[in-house]
Structures are given as C-alpha cells and as structure tokens.
Amino acid sequence: MLLLKTEYTLWGVNMINFSNLIYLPVDVPNPPKGAVEFFDTIDYKDMIVDTYRTCHHIPIMDKDGTFSSEAKEVKGLVEWFENEIFTWSMPARMRIITTPPGGHNACHIDCSPDRIGTWQHKFRYVFQGDRTTLIFNNKEEDVRIHDVDKCYIMDGAWPHEMLNTTNKRKYTLTLGAPWEPQSDDKKYVEVLQRSYNKYKNYYISSEKWQLPENWKSLFQPEYDDQLYLLENYNGA
C-alpha cells in the first residue's frame, strides 16, 4: 500500500510518509514573548478543569473559532495565529495546558477509538517549562521529546503524559478539534515536509514502536462504548 512506504510521491514531489509521526518541530516563527507574564496572573479557579488529563486549561479559542478575552490580552498573539498558523491550519479549539510545579498530567490518548488509524496530529508550543517532560509510552521504553524551542506537531493518538519538574507553572499551547489534518491536506503536508527538511535530526517516529499493554484503557471514559472497534487493532 502506497502510504506504508517511508517516502512517496505527492503532487509531483518526494514526500516523507508522516503516518508514524510522533514528534516534529515546526518551521514557523515562535509566538510573541510576554504571554507568560499574563498567564501567571490567572488563578487556577478561573481556569477550565480537565479531570481526564488532570490539568487546568486557559481558554484561547473556542471550537467555533472565537478568540477568548484571555487571548486578546497577550500583545500580538491573535495576529501571530492569523499570520503564521491559520495560513496552513484552521481556527479550532485552543487552550493553554497549565501544569503546576511538581504536577503530572495523566497518561492519555487525545482521540476517540473510532479515529485510531487516522492522522491525529496535534499542534503544540511550550511557553514555559521543561520541554522534555512530554513523554510517550511504548511497550519497551518511555520516550521524551527533544528540548527544541519551537512549535511542534505530536501524535495525539499515541499514549502520552506530561510532568512539570520545575518550580514554575508549565504552559503548553494546544490546537485541537475540529482541526484534524490528513495526508491529503496539501498546505499542511508541505509545512510538515519543510519542517522535516530543517529538523529531521529531531524527528521521532513510532515506526518501530509497539503500543503499551494497557493502551485501550487510556481513552477518555466517554468513549468506552467504542472500544470494541479496537479488538483486532495491533498498533501502528
């Protein structure tokens, strides 16, 4: 099958097959500085509580594409999204995952069982915190991402967890549903390919990984009635 090859031709260009992408820095300018100072003024009681991922969220955009009042407080942030990010992605739900000092965001999977097997690429940027404390669990070992101060794409369908080993809050920007780019999204794949050409030394692939034994227990409980779909699924 064409898509299982490591490289393939798309739109007349040789492309890497990103179906096994776990982590890749993205070749776009970083967001404006100054966000952290504002985020630090927001109390946990004013954030969204996520009991599944055990963390707090600061809202940036709702799933219909409306920026929050918090997003508008950060000088240049809205413009950065419009000029650098939405030119190849789309407005979608965005939040700042806030992990307190010493905190642990539980191991989880960021999609429903019926989306396993599709691309579940998620856009992230760590505004503050140790970038290497995003950890992917596979059967053999836990793999940490690289310490690269860039936005990145990660695989939300692979079990992952996050720590904060510093004495300050960790802030991670997330861009989520309903944006779900697939391999036929030309603008997106071109950004991936450009990013791969620049950051291939940091690329992490799941090509040789196996899912951990307990992976079916890591979905959000509201999807339990879909777990039967995974009965014969044996990993990437």
Closest CB to Fe ion among residues 16, 53: 53
Only segment of 106-114, 143-151, 185-193, 220-228 that touches Fe ion (CB under 5 A): 106-114
110 touches Fe ion by CB under 5 A: yes
Please report the DSSP string for the chain in residue order: -GGGSSEEEETTEEEE-GGGEEEEE-SSPPPPTTHHHHHTTS-GGGSEEETTTTEEEEEEE-TTSPBPHHHHHSTTHHHHIIIIITTTS----EEEEEE-TT-EEEEE-SS-GGGBTB--EEEEEEEES-GGGEEEE-SS-EEEPP---S-EEEETTS-EEEE--SSS-EEEEEE-TT----TT-HHHHHHHHHHHHHHGGG-EE-TT----TTGGG-S-GGGGGGGGGGTT----
Closest CB to Fe ion among residues 16, 25: 25
Closest CB to Fe ion among residues 110, 185: 110
Encoded one letter per residue, x for contact with Fe ion by CB under 5 A and - for no contact, window 58-97 reads ----------------------------------------
Closest CB to Fe ion among residues 8, 223: 223
Residue count (the chain):
236
The site that binds Fe ion (CB under 5 A) totals a number of residues, namely: 1
Only segment of 6-14, 28-36, 108-116, 194-202 that touches Fe ion (CB under 5 A): 108-116
Closest CB to Fe ion among residues 108, 169: 108
- The terminus-to-terminus CA distance of the chain in angstroms comes to 14
Shortest Cβ 96–Fe ion spacing (Å): 13
Shortest Cβ 42–Fe ion spacing (Å): 21
Closest CB to Fe ion among residues 38, 52: 52
Q: From residue 189, how far is each of 33, 102, 161 by CA, in Å?
A: 28, 36, 26
Shortest Cβ 217–Fe ion spacing (Å): 16
99: phi then psi, degrees, rounded to nearest 5: -110, 120
Residue nearest to Fe ion (CB): 110
Closest CB to Fe ion among residues 70, 110: 110
Shortest Cβ 9–Fe ion spacing (Å): 32
185 touches Fe ion by CB under 5 A: no
161 touches Fe ion by CB under 5 A: no
Query: Hey, what amino acid is at 65?
Result: G
Task: Please report, as ranges, the residues that interact with Fe ion according to CB under 5 A.
Answer: 110
